Amino acid sequence: MALHRVNTDDYQQQLDQKVARLREAYTPYTDLQPEVFPSPPSHYRLRAEFKMWQDGARVDYAMYKQGEYKKPFVIEEFTVGSERINALMPPLLDAINGSEILRKRLFCTEFLTTLSGDALITLIYHKPLGEEWEAEARTLQERLGVPILGRSRKQKLVLERDYVIEKLDINGRTYQYKQVEGSFTQPNGEICRSMIGWAKSCCEDKTRDLLELYCGNGNFTIPLAENFRKVLATEISKVSVNAAQENIAANGVDNLAILRLSSEEFTQAIDKVRPFRRLKDFDLDSYDFSTVLVDPPRAGLDADTCAMIARFPRILYISCNPETQLENLAELTKTHRIKRFAIFDQFPYTDHTESGVLLVKK
């Protein structure tokens, strides 16, 4: 099935198949029935990247099957994309095709949108972007009412801003996030809300502290901060750390600190293997952690990080790759048992699924 055009009547069937497959895969570690969080069947994806297929004097949105980069699918509808993306695609394409300056050597277009209606468009070129391009792009930006960003090799031209502002309503409270172009954001907004709500319901300890690794822009960190005495979060991306700091201030959180460290570096720091200048004025010993939250990349947790988090009474592990989560569970379930198990259909109509487990010390 082409992902840009889906039959929503098939949604429940494909979700049931995923759940059955994952339930079987997790059987060695838990007999719990998973809590299942379905996605909207359509218009769920908040970001999209299209190759631009140049054919003579015309350009079209296109996608390619893996390994078949000379056989594009021209995109005329994008069922999985947010309604905001779908509304922007036709007028943007018309404007690009009406301007040789905007069209020439354009090879990629990216959309970043939010549930709250904000949007950003990035146009990526195989050419330097000069004054003529900027003038055309500013006219386009005014016409669409959406910020335009231009990129080419070693060049980033920001006409207004390079981020969107998301506002998520969760359990009666609204959280605000700055999401920067080019940095990681959750692609499925409704599933993101479900994951945050589930995480908040899993753990609360007002007398002790939370550690979060791989915190990104504070997506989970900020809502969870109200469940704990203090929160310490780590993230290696400088862009994400800066966005997280702004998000902390925007949400009025005062019990949360973020360190720019990788999970491996934090393990070395907490074990006092070596000193870090970034921790010169920071007292790790002032924290009393009862819970650790990890949401690692697809590769999962490295062995040292896995061993480090196994010391905690509670582990909340959210994963975009159940296969590597299962590999880590082979170790973590030696010391912990799974108390809750969730499946989040982050990527409908694909084989990919997000999973979450709450582990408690045996």
CA distances from 322 to 28, 48, 124, 133 (A): 14, 23, 33, 44
The candidate with the shortest Cα–Cα distance to 345, out of 65, 138, 4, 45, is 45
Distance from C-alpha of 234 to C-alpha of 250, rounded to nearest angstrom: 19
Query: For residues 326 and 339, what is the distance between their CA atoms, to the nearest angstrom?
Result: 15
* Residue that has been written with the tokens 């994951």 in this structure: 195
CB-CB contact of 270 with 297 (8 Å): no
Distances (CA, A) of 114 to 105, 232, 315: 28, 27, 30
Conformation bin of residue 80: beta by default, left when phi > 0, alpha when psi is -120 to 50? alpha
Q: What angle, rounded to 10 degrees, do the helices at 131-144 and 83-97 form?
A: 140
Q: Is 187 exposed, middle or buried (0-12, 13-18, 19+ CB in 10 A)?
A: middle
The answer to whether the beta carbons of residues 97 and 59 sit under 8 Å apart is yes
What's the token pair of residue 189? 């907004």
Query: Is 77 an annotated catalytic residue?
Result: no
**Catalytic residue flag (residue 215):** no
Question: Which residue in 203, 320, 327, 331 is the catalytic one?
Answer: 320
Annotated active-site positions, please?
320, 354
